[in-house]
Amino acid sequence: MTDRILVAPSILSADFSRLGEEVASLSSLGADWVHLDVMDGHFVPNITFGAPVVRAVRSASKLVFDAHLMVAEPAKWVHEFADAGADVITVHREADAHVHRTLQLIRSLGKKAGVALNPATPECEVEYLLDDADMVLIMSVNPGFGGQKFITSALRKIEAVRNMALRRGTKLDIQVDGGVNPQTAALCRDAGANVLVAGSAVFGAADRARAIAEIRG
């Protein structure tokens, strides 16, 4: 975990017809990570892109590639995303009956392992995973689409997971994803999140660099 606040723009809201350029621009806009939303039309009601697209844009940026797998049975796909150049691979607790094993698999490939919780999933679901996870992703919208409204109960969950990590003395990245803008970002930072994902608030902004700076706070 870093003590800095990190901003991870989600390319879900980028112009897909110019994806390479959009990814390439993020470093000079001040972003820290590139957030890659992978959806399979099964775990979530939308389809985006898979490992070949991640591989194709990998050379466009030196930033950390943060793959958020919103797919059923994510263990099946971990190798492919690792090979494609993801640095952080996050899987959903709800999508995987053996998520503990999947986190170990991700780490065995030399990648950082993240576990994500949907808005309805309580924080106790990660309690016995903390030794094997580098990051917990708290969803602040129901996954599937960009541009949704921030669900405020995510703040309590961020706080609870941060306290869990502090009690254990674990260095844990806590990421928040969904409806993050300069206003909600401030609440998330106060609650203990240190990695802020934002799609529409960055790519929809007239001044993207400013949006990133304001989200960082």
Q: Which residues lie near ligand DX5 (CB under 6 A)?
A: 10, 12-13, 35, 37, 68, 141, 143-148, 177-180, 197-201
Q: Nearest Cα to 78, choosing from 44, 110, 43?
A: 110
CB of 30 to Zn ion, least distance (A): 19
- CB neighbour class for 210 (10 Å; exposed up to 12, middle 13-18, buried from 19): middle
Q: Which of 37, 40, 66, 134 is catalytic?
A: 37
The interface partner of residue 49, options being Zn ion, ligand DX5, none and the CB cut-off 5 to 8 Å by kind, is none
DSSP 145-185: -SSPPP-THHHHHHHHHHHHHHHHT---EEEEESS--HHHH
3 assigned to active site? no
Give 62's DSSP letter. -
Is the Cβ of residue 12 or residue 164 nearer to Zn ion in the bound state?
12
**Is residue 134 annotated as a catalytic residue, yes or no?**
no
What is the number of other CB atoms lying within 10 angstroms of the CB of residue 199? 24
Among candidate residues 40, 66, 173, 177, the one labeled active-site is 177
Check residue 32 for interaction with Zn ion (CB under 5 A). no
- Give the x-and-dash track for 160-179 against Zn ion (CB under 5 A): -----------------x--
Specify the residue, 128 or 195, whose C-beta has the smaller distance to Zn ion: 195
Smallest gap from Cβ 70 to ligand DX5, in A, equals 6
For the chain, give the longest Cα–Cα distance.
46
What's the min distance (Å) between Cβ of 127 and ligand DX5? Answer: 23
H or E stretch including 186?
helix 182-191
# binding residues, Zn ion (CB under 5 A): 3
Comparing CB distances to ligand DX5, the nearer of 172 and 198 is 198
**Closer residue to Zn ion (CB): 104 or 148:** 148
